[in-house]
A and B are shown apart, each in its own frame.
Chain A
Amino acid sequence: MEMKKPIIKSIPYEEFKDNETLEALIKEINKERTNVVVGALDDLINWGRSNSLWSLTFATSCCGIEFMSVGAARYDFARFGFEVTRNSPRQADLIMVAGTITHKMAPVLKRLYDQMAEPKYVIAVGGCAISGGPFKGSYHVLNGVDKIIPVDVYIPGCPPRPEAILYGMMQLQRKVKIEKFFGGVNHKQKKEEQTDNYPLVITNVPQEITDKTEKEQ
């Protein structure tokens, strides 16, 4: 069974930009034949996933306000199934990096990404998240989040309009639609990509305990 073109209800397929990338992906997936039953299940799972993308509320600066606007009355992303925002990375499907990522924030962002459950997606919202934007020349700004985590969709703008954010989310929906549940998703974080060397810092340890552990060692 072949993977079909990713069609979503909101916008006709032809009106989307960058269809070529998706078609190339489909071609690659279709190199291996899939069982009819498994293929049908794939379709069902992808349909479900793409229509209930839960995002992590992660905003560092200006773009976060536009993200709030998308959630509010006029733009209302509940129409597309994005309305559930989660405050814990464990429950989120995607992380919207809205705003500048600085040197001090970079390890925190990586940790949030590592904590998310598979499948997970990243959207870089705004110039700062894409390339550093107006603060590119700064000593304390990370020039693009793709240096530390893989990005699925880039939404340019400073900040992007709410319509642009919706369009970016729809592009992600289409990307979610062409995935194989049985046999791996398009991208999966490998063990070596994770930062496991988070030193567990415990402060305020009573002196007796530190003495005791030192003796034992």
Chain B
Amino acid sequence: MNTTFIPLNEFRSQMETLRRDKGMDFLRDMIGMDWGEDGLGVIYLLENSATKENISVATRTTDRVAPAIPTVSDLWKIANIYEREVFDFFGIIFNGHPNLRRLFLRNDWVGYPLRKDYDESEAVNPVRMYSENNQNDCTYTLAEDGTIKQIPDTLFDNNEYVINIGPQHPATHGVLRFRLSLEGEFINKVDIHCGYIHRGIEKISEKYPYPQILALTDRLDYLSAHQNRHALCMCIEKAMGLEVTERTQYIRTIMDELQRIDSHLLFISCAAMDLGALTTFIYGFRDREKLLDIMEEVTGGRLIQNYNVIGGVQADITPGFAEKVKTFCKDILNKLNEYNDVFTNNIITRKRMLGIGVLSTEDVISYGCTGGTGRASGWSCDVRKRHPYALYDKVDFKEIIYNNGDCYDRFLVRIDEIKESVRIIEQLIDSIPEGEYKVKTKPIIRIPEGSYHAAVEGSRGEFGVFIESKGDKSPYRIKFRPMGLPLIASMETMLKGNKIADLMAIGATLDYVIPDIDR
């Protein structure tokens, strides 16, 4: 991966040129970096959503005490939340950011954990058993004399009625917290708190050798465990120059699609349950168990399977695999009609979803909401089509695109995607070639110096892996692109003006998984 470094004084104008003139409207990822003596900085991965052209630019500052970089949060909406993440982990101040404060960690946390000189000892950051105060916002601006000034600001003013939802709440699908300002029943302002399941995976990865990091990716978004691990394996293989066999590619593609069906079935069940339809929940889980049986037979695990390894897969597929998958595929298409009868075409469902939580195409691209959410708003964002990997350029499948961008469309996208996944599997399942399922690798895996990036289509969006290597057996920096962070960032736009009950419908159809957001 070639990264162009932009000097700090030209940074802002060059980014504006890229956004406005070159049409780089999709900020794929923003990676904070600590280059040691070379200073702290940020790598921006940009893409032109029309031409699919990719570019990566970076900037850095040698000041370690008060590092400052101009903000780009007015150019890409998602940069707002990404910059807060970088500030949280590296302490880089983004001049002109509307409310720069910690995103994941507590506001009384000491130090910036992803810096190389961070002190991890228990004494510095013990487990604090008292509740944290609500954070006050602040903006940093560069004063004329060159110093950075902090201007305090309050998010909610005195006359607003603010309620708190989460972190322990059944509708948040985990531990996410919202602070909502209400005007009667309508939502005025949203403030999202993440980090209740921030496990510091990126920092632990810097200590582990590559094969051990693989185990952590499954636990990021446990409903796209295969895809996550596929991305990391692909990135490492790309860096090592390792070619995997044809058979591995077949197995990986089929397992990815099975995982997608699994995730979407769970999505249908949970979305239904959030809206109060318990029958669909039971139906969905009944069919999901059949799929889990197949997965368990091949991989040995139900939810977290640890199947992909560097150079192939852990174990070969079992003899009856093809038959079972074919039976399941036939079965699930019939079952989808059942869901449609019970839930999708139900008048209550339609009333609660149609026209609720609308996201425009521009918003989706600016927020970088990939996956089902992006495609429901008319953005062709499927990584399988944009940058084909594995066998996706050889199989024939349709990218599901709807145009309304409301909750109902987001729901329909997932139903249709199950059908497309079944189509992909049916094209591949009969022609799995003979051969090795795994290429032999050295016991200690080292990656040549440089930076590498790979992306796959996870169950709910683009999952990217960025590795910066110094030639060691563990990475210098590893960054996973969370699929869910853009989704919850976009909730601010969606919720404004909607009723508080719509929060459940919107949250359910966005289909976020919190451990993936917090990492």
Which residues on A are within 8 Å of B, measured CB to CB? 57-62, 64-66, 68-69, 72-74, 87, 89, 99-100, 102-108, 110-112, 134-135, 137-142, 147-148, 158-159, 161, 195, 197-199, 201, 203-207
Contact = CB atoms under 8 A, between A and B. Distances in A.
Given A108-B167, A197-B130, A204 B157 contact: yes
Given A62-B303, A204-B157, A74 B289 contact: yes
Contact of A61 (B105, B197, B286): B197
Most chain A CB within 10 A, of B134, B156, B269, B285, is at: B285
Contacts of B222: 61-62, 65
B196 A102 contact: yes
Contacts of B128: 103, 106-107
5 contacts: A68-B270, A102-B197, A103-B106, A140-B105, A148-B129
Interface string B162-189: 1000011110001100000000000000
B303 A199 contact: no
Contacts of B514: 60-61
B138 interface: no
A57 B270 CA distance: 14
Which secondary structure characterizes the binding site on chain A? loop
B326 interface: no
B215 interface: yes
Contacts of A99: 197, 515
B26 to A, nearest CB: 29
A138 B200 contact: yes
Given A140-B198, A204-B162, A62 B207 contact: no
Nearest to A137: B204
Kindly list the 7 A-B residue pairs having the minimum CB-CB distance in the complex, ordered from nearest. A72-B285, A138-B200, A73-B286, A62-B222, A61-B515, A140-B200, A135-B199
Interface of B: 104-106, 113, 118, 120, 125, 127-134, 154, 156-158, 160, 162, 167-170, 174-175, 195-201, 203-204, 207, 215-216, 219, 222-223, 266, 269-270, 281-282, 285-286, 288-289, 302-304, 514-515
Nearest to B195: A104
B105 A105 contact: no
Contacts of B281: 72
Contact of B198 (A57, A72, A89, A102): A102
Contacts of B289: 69, 72-74
Given A61-B197, A65-B222, A139-B203, A111 B131 contact: yes
Kindly name the residue among B125, B128, B158, B216 whose own CB sees the greatest number of chain A CB atoms within 10 A.
Answer: B158
B153 to A, nearest CB: 13
A102 B109 CA distance: 13
B156 A204 contact: yes
Nearest to B118: A139
Contacts of A135: 199-201, 204, 216
A160 B133 CA distance: 36
Contact of B285 (A57, A68, A89, A197): A68
A204 B197 contact: no
A203 B129 CA distance: 20
Contact of A60 (B106, B131, B174, B286): B174
A194 to B, nearest CB: 11
Contacts of B156: 203-204
Nearest to B212: A134
B219 A61 contact: yes
Given A65-B223, A103-B125, A206 B158 contact: yes
Contacts of B303: 62, 65-66, 159
B196 A161 contact: no
B199 A204 contact: no
A110 B129 CA distance: 8
A137 B285 contact: no
B204 to A, nearest CB: 5
Contacts of B282: 72-73
Contacts of A106: 127-129
A102 to B, nearest CB: 6
A56 B285 CA distance: 20
A203 B134 contact: yes
A105 B200 contact: no
Given A140-B199, A141-B199, A204-B158, A134 B219 contact: yes
Nearest to B169: A87
Contacts of A204: 154, 156-158, 160, 162
Contact of A74 (B132, B162, B199, B286): B286
A81 B499 CA distance: 36
Contacts of A59: 174
Interface hub of A65, A73, A104, A138 (most chain B Cβ within 10 A): A104
A66 B106 contact: no
B277 to A, nearest CB: 14
A1 B195 CA distance: 52
A147 to B, nearest CB: 7
A142 B200 CA distance: 12
A158 B304 contact: yes
Given A73-B282, A134-B216, A104 B302 contact: no
Nearest to A57: B170
B215 A134 contact: yes
Most buried by B among A59, A64, A65, A112: A65
A204 B169 CA distance: 24
- Most chain B beta-carbon contacts within 10 A, residue among A100, A106, A201: A100
